[in-house]
Chains A and B, each alone.
Chain A
Amino acid sequence: MAGTVIGEGLTIEGEVTSEEEVVVHGTVRGTLKSSDVVSVGPGAVVEADVDAASLSVAGNVTGNVNAGERVDLQAGGRLIGDVKASRLTIADGASFKGNVDMDV
């Protein structure tokens, strides 16, 4: 079971800082930081800068993303913002607008 789950119907406005896995099915506005995995489920809305070890997006993310390991944008996911990560995958059917920096 994930450490932190922001369920469907829940909204957090402000700063979320975590040292465990964060799963978002609801809404986060502000900043979202985790030293572990952040998953944005389908239907979730994240209007925040995301700083995580890795990020998986199946929902909507608007904001800049900084991931230590990887970013996976899944089919149906939508990401608007700049991505800084050493690995990035974009699945067929995902939407993305922004710059990518993969430390090359």
Chain B
Amino acid sequence: MGGSVIGSDTVVRGNVRGSGPLEILGRVEGDVTVEGDVLLGDGAAVRGNVSGAQLTVSGAVQGDLHGSEAVLVQNGARVVGEIVAPRIGIADGGLVRGNVRTEGEPQLAPVARRPAFGARPFGSSFGAARAVAPAPRVTEHRPIEPRAVEARPSEPKSRPEGDPAAKSSPEPPPPVVPALPKGAKGKKKNRS
């Protein structure tokens, strides 16, 4: 017990809050704040901010989506607003306009998650796209590129062209910018 459904022929004007899971198939004009998972089904329309653990969106939302675990934007969904969650998935065919941020601590084992909403396999269309946006902290583990700490303190960074020392140096020559013939710039501009 405890699961809630706002049916497809139901309109809520006001705020919805409490513990989930919550399935919205109808219209909500107001903020939705629950502790559990939220499913915005096909044909759902929400004008307001939605926050929950895992948000799965197949309908239309005009407002911000905040997921403490994940936000999954499915095929056919339309989102106008900010999306913030540790895991964000946008499936092929999902439309998003707004700021998107992967932020916060992601769940360590997303595979072992309890199935959202009983045995219904919504979100199965996600497949590999589920983990498209890992948290940005992954970059911390990447080894530092060695050429970034090149030890050449004595040599000046830029040397005049034609310097004989430059040719003997093992460093690759500076990139040569070809001098364009007169009028070439104008031609290019006309084409585009």
Contact = CB atoms under 8 A, between A and B. Distances in A.
Contact of A9 (B7, B14, B19): B19
A10 B17 contact: yes
B16 A20 contact: no
B30 A14 contact: yes
Nearest to B17: A11
Contacts of B9: 3, 18-20
Interface in B1-54: 1-20, 22, 26, 30, 34
A18 B7 contact: yes
Interface residues of B, number: 24
Contact of B15 (A3, A9, A13, A22): A13
Contacts of A4: 5-7, 10, 26
A14 B16 CA distance: 9
A27 to B, nearest CB: 8
Nearest to B27: A17
Contacts of B17: 10-11, 13
Interface residues of A, number: 24
A70 to B, nearest CB: 21
Given A4-B26, A14-B15, A14-B30, A9 B10 contact: no
Interface in A17-63: 17-20, 22, 25-27, 30
Nearest to B16: A12
Contacts of B20: 10
B10 A18 contact: yes
A17 B7 CA distance: 10
Interface class of chain B by DSSP = strand
Contacts of B12: 12, 14-17
Nearest first, the 7 A-B pairs at minimum CB distance are A14-B14, A3-B7, A7-B4, A9-B19, A10-B18, A18-B10, A19-B9
25 contacts: A3-B9, A4-B7, A5-B4, A5-B5, A7-B4, A7-B18, A7-B22, A9-B18, A10-B4, A10-B22, A11-B17, A12-B15, A13-B14, A14-B12, A15-B11, A16-B10, A17-B11, A18-B7, A18-B9, A18-B11, A18-B26, A19-B10, A22-B10, A25-B2, A30-B14
Interface class of chain A by DSSP = strand
B19 A3 contact: no
B141 to A, nearest CB: 40
A6 B20 CA distance: 10
A8 interface: yes
A22 B26 CA distance: 13
B14 A12 contact: yes
Interface string A57-85: 00000000000000000000000000000
Contacts of A7: 1-5, 18, 22
Contact of B11 (A9, A16, A26): A16
